[in-house]
A and B are shown apart, each in its own frame.
Chain A
């Protein structure tokens, strides 16, 4: 279990993480929040890139600062990834396995297995500089699996992936993450909905939500409406229209309102719950 107890992080006077507290058990967690809300900062604290995590984060009851092999049990995909571009794919994976303390024998098997996961086996002898952006991203995902880590952190893993590869990523996580603690930081609520049982939403440096996907959806219960745009005049009070789309030759609006409307409220999604928090409904 990964526990965060009163984690603070400031950049100068700016408070980015404000006394964060949470307990993360095995399973997949979605980390949501607007740009600049501190998602990457939190992940960097969890990787000990920022030293604030040393005394405020605990793994299996031991603070990360006192734990010797924590980093060897951690798989991490940073927001940007493109290391050792002059190496071949196999060599780069070998280097990262080496740095992570994965044994030579284990690394050989792991490299092939990880590349197979992301469908890059045929590129094993290619130079990284010759790969496309999406392939490099997939390589980044593959390296996070090296050494079969217990804790996995992904910072916007599906950014730059095509729809098929996004689906593949989701299926990899679903298949492999049962006994691991996986945190996926993303802007794509769809990915979170498909993958995560629990959600952390960061707002103003604090966890605005730390709960199940159902709990997030319930935050928008009886607040979400979907109406034809011809009925717009009938909306009462403060509201937030966040989607305008066409359905059966009809323009429709989806909006949030805390005030009771004359329309029937629709079943909320995680996106609705997220928007309710962000827009203070």
Chain B
């Protein structure tokens, strides 16, 4: 009964977060369900070799998927950060902010999973690639949550996420056989579960940062 009520309330909030974002809420979905499939089709048709096409998709997926994993966090929680009268929301922050943010990430990862599951029918290693992307997305999510709570500025958070993505893409062709935090970008295919081990620190760092974020003192309200 209690959990049912909690779930209904959570679902209602999520719907309202999406409505508050208006057209911005569709952008990650367009990227996942339109841009990435078009890219996949393009590579398959151009290369005529699924291994090469998968390699290309991995390269672009690592740029796009983690970056958009924080989109709903940044724009959905806009009012908590810069809204007039945000203190009305902040005074209740501890009870719902973190779970709501995680649920938004979860929804994004579910959407990503659906797309990569579809890819896996005609491209190799796609489900393992999804696991890698999910772990990197958690790192992005933790980083964005942390900076959002620390700076209380959307622009600063957005820029940091963008710069972090650019920083990583400039580290192209790094050897990812060893743990390379803060790098994540790699050309290497994830051929087995063992290869995912190098991303465990990314995952835990993301979880850690996201957990600390709501505990940070609010610059405006301390």
Q: Which residues of A contact B (CB under 8 A)?
A: 44, 47-50, 71, 76, 78-87, 91, 94-96, 98-101, 103-104, 140, 143
Listed A/B pairs (17) with beta-carbon separation below 8 Å: A49-B87, A50-B221, A71-B92, A80-B84, A81-B85, A83-B79, A83-B83, A83-B86, A83-B88, A87-B19, A87-B20, A94-B12, A95-B20, A98-B9, A98-B13, A104-B12, A140-B85
B25 to chain A, nearest CB (A): 10
With a cutoff of 8 Å between Cβ atoms, the chain B residues found around residue A98 in the complex are 9, 12-13, 16
Q: Cα distance A186–B15 when bound, in Å?
A: 36
Q: Does B8 contact A (CB under 8 A)?
A: yes
Asked if B92 and A99 sit within 8 Å, CB to CB, the answer is yes
Q: Cα distance A84–B89 when bound, in Å?
A: 11
B145 to chain A, nearest CB (A): 19
A230 to chain B, nearest CB (A): 49
Given A86-B19, A86-B20, A98-B12; 6 other pairs, CB 8 A cutoff: A50-B222, A81-B84, A84-B79, A86-B22, A99-B92, A100-B92
A181 to chain B, nearest CB (A): 17
Interface centre among B12, B96, B222 (most CB of A within 10 A): B12
Asked if B83 and A84 sit within 8 Å, CB to CB, the answer is yes
How many residues on the B side are at the interface (Cβ–Cβ under 8 A)?
24
Q: Cα distance A11–B221 when bound, in Å?
A: 10
9 pairs of A and B residues whose beta carbons are closest in the complex? A82-B84, A81-B85, A78-B85, A80-B84, A49-B91, A83-B83, A95-B16, A47-B91, A83-B79
Q: Does B63 contact A (CB under 8 A)?
A: no
Interface centre among A49, A81, A101, A103 (most CB of B within 10 A): A49
B44 to chain A, nearest CB (A): 39
Q: Which single residue of chain B is at the shortest CB-CB distance from A87?
A: B20
With contacts A95-B16, A99-B96 taken as known, whether A78 is within 8 angstroms of B83 at the C-beta atoms is no
Q: Does B21 contact A (CB under 8 A)?
A: yes
**Which one of B19, B21, B85 lies within 8 Å of A83 (CB-CB)?**
B85
A14 to chain B, nearest CB (A): 13
With a cutoff of 8 Å between Cβ atoms, the chain B residues found around residue A83 in the complex are 79, 83-86, 88-89
Q: Does B115 contact A (CB under 8 A)?
A: no
Q: Cα distance A13–B92 when bound, in Å?
A: 28
Q: Does B213 contact A (CB under 8 A)?
A: no
In the complex, which residues 157-171 of chain B have their Cβ closer than 8 Å to any Cβ of chain A?
none
Q: Cα distance A86–B88 when bound, in Å?
A: 17
With a cutoff of 8 Å between Cβ atoms, the chain A residues found around residue B52 in the complex are none
**Which one of B9, B12, B91 lies within 8 Å of A48 (CB-CB)?**
B91
With a cutoff of 8 Å between Cβ atoms, the chain A residues found around residue B221 in the complex are 44, 49-50
Q: Cα distance A80–B96 when bound, in Å?
A: 23
Asked if A104 and B85 sit within 8 Å, CB to CB, the answer is no
**Which one of B9, B22, B87, B92 lies within 8 Å of A44 (CB-CB)?**
B87
Q: Cα distance A78–B83 when bound, in Å?
A: 12
Q: Cα distance A71–B93 when bound, in Å?
A: 11
